């Protein structure tokens, strides 16, 4: 049997491009700890987070390339340890040193189901094996504890607060600390201070993703979160009708002005499917989100139907992704969560490639 050389293996792996990028995993510095024993090959592929949805695709492409280019190769073993320094760490900005990716979930106007989307996306990302946190930064109308099924305030731990946890997601909200019938009549500096405390005084631990559920619009909370921590990117939630899309475009432009990458747009309440006859009704029209995303040249992440089961999940603290994992509605959330994960991995890979070039 001819000897399998390391150089040949690396050359074959140069045919494997990370999904969404034009660069290969070797050039990006992803391949580490290559070992060849007889006809068996093993190596690590470093990705930015433990729950990265690109694992299966990279594994398939790598094995196909190796067996095609080097037929004498037998078993191929690929591991995916977390690459702690794959992107700019939060330590560079001080407040969240153990959080790899911070994603803002925003909407141009209220009433589009942004918090419901945030909760279900957080649970969906946790199901990939990622460590996920959810920060309820909607200071004026915090409702994440209700949707996550825990209303008891988390206990302090020394000088820090331990976040609540349910459905595999750690979360914190101003709703834990203010009576539910007390209005939050706060000016900008107070909002900024509250968000800073929710970030600084909470013991988040190590996270692959921290989703930040922002209030609707383009006000103080959005500017505060962009100033306090380096956002990996922002996701915009809209409904299909023109009035929502118009406000969403303003939100997109706001994030561009503060140099926050746009991960994509989600169309919520896209359609209603009758559970009896399965006829589809487009209550708020349909397709406006996809059209807007195409015009703005940002990714369209997907459509989520309007459905009573999604609403019930939010009201009872049992999000549909957790309550009914086999439902079509859950499938929509999981597909969007995977697309967000791929966008995050792509953004981080771009940073790594830039660092290599520099």
Q: At what angle do helices 288-296 and 242-257 cross, to 10 degrees?
A: 30
The answer on pLDDT for 354 being more than 60 is no
pLDDT single digits (tens) 81-117: 754 333 444 434 457 888 999 999 988 777 888 999 9
Q: To which CATH superfamily is domain 6-79 assigned?
A: Fe-S cluster assembly (FSCA) (3.30.300.130)
How large is the average pLDDT for residues 224-238? Answer: 86
Ranking 62-66, 172-176, 178-182 by mean pLDDT, the lowest is: 178-182
DSSP strands (E only) in 174-261: 207-213, 233-238
| CB distance 9 to 70 below 8 Å | yes
pLDDT tens profile 38-64: 999 999 988 655 445 567 888 999 999
Instruction: Tell me how far apart the alpha carbons of residues 43 and 25 are, in angstroms, rounded to a whole number.
Output: 12
Strand, coil or helix: what is 11?
helix
| Residue carrying the six token digits 């191929």 | 76
Dist CA 71 CA 55 (whole Å): 23
Res. 198 pLDDT band, cuts 50 70 90: confident
Tens-place pLDDT, residues 237-281? 988 876 667 777 777 777 877 788 899 999 998 888 877 787 888
CA pair distance 175, 186, nearest whole angstrom = 15
Domain ranges of the chain: 6-79, 90-357
Q: Which CATH architecture group holds 90-357? A: 3-Layer(aba) Sandwich (3.40)
In 3-state terms, what secondary structure has residue 61? helix
Structural contact between residues 137 and 195, judged by C-beta atoms closer than 8 angstroms: yes
- Taking residues 296-314, what's their average pLDDT? 90
Of the pLDDT bands very low, low, confident and very high (cuts 50, 70, 90), residue 218 is low
CB atoms within 10 A of CB 179: 6
Asked if 269 and 304 touch (Cβ cutoff 8 Å), the reply is yes
In sequence order, what E strands does the chain have? Answer: 31-37, 40-45, 76-79, 99-106, 132-136, 156-157, 160-161, 164-166, 169-173, 207-213, 233-238, 262-267, 272-273, 280-281, 300-303
pTM summary value: 0.72
The tokens for 176 are: 């834990």
Q: What proportion of the chain, given as a percentage, has pLDDT over 70?
A: 85
pLDDT at 332 over 90: yes
Question: pLDDT tens digits, residue range 113-122?
Answer: 899 999 999 9
């Amino acid at each position: 049997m001819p000897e399998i050389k390391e150089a040949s293996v690396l050359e074959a792996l140069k045919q494997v491009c990370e999904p969404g990028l034009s660069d290969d995993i070797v050039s990006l510095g992803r391949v580490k700890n290559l070992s060849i024993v007889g006809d068996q090959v093993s190596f690590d592929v470093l990705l930015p987070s433990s729950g990265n949805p690109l694992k299966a695709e990279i594994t398939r492409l790598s094995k196909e390339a190796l067996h095609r280019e080097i037929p004498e190769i037998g078993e191929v073993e690929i591991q995916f340890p977390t690459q702690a320094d794959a992107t700019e760490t939060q330590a560079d900005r001080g407040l969240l040193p153990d959080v790899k990716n911070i994603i803002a979930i925003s909407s141009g106007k209220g009433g589009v189901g942004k918090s419901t989307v945030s909760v279900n996306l957080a649970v969906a990302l946790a199901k990939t094996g990622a460590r996920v946190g959810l920060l309820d930064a909607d200071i004026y109308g915090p409702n994440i504890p209700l949707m996550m099924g825990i209303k008891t305030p988390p206990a302090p731990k020394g000088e820090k607060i331990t976040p609540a946890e349910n459905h595999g997601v750690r979360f914190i909200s101003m709703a834990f600390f203010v009576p539910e019938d007390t209005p939050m009549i706060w000016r900008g500096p107070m909002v900024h201070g509250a968000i800073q405390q929710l970030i600084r005084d909470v013991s988040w631990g190590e996270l692959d993703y921290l989703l930040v559920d922002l209030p609707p619009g383009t006000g103080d909370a959005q500017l505060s979160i962009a100033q306090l921590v380096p956002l990996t990117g922002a996701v915009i939630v809209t409904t299909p009708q023109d009035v929502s899309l118009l406000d969403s475009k303003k939100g997109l432009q706001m994030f561009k002005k503060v140099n926050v990458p746009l991960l994509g747009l989600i169309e919520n309440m896209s359609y209603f499917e009758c559970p009896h006859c399965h006829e589809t009704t487009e209550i708020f029209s349909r397709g406006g989100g996809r059209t807007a995303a195409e015009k703005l040249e940002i990714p369209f992440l997907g459509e989520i139907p309007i459905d009573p089961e999604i609403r019930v999940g939010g009201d009872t603290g049992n999000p549909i992704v957790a309550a009914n994992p086999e439902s079509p509605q859950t499938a929509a959330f999981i597909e969007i969560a995977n697309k967000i994960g791929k966008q995050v991995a792509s953004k981080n890979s771009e940073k790594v490639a830039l660092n290599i070039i520099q």
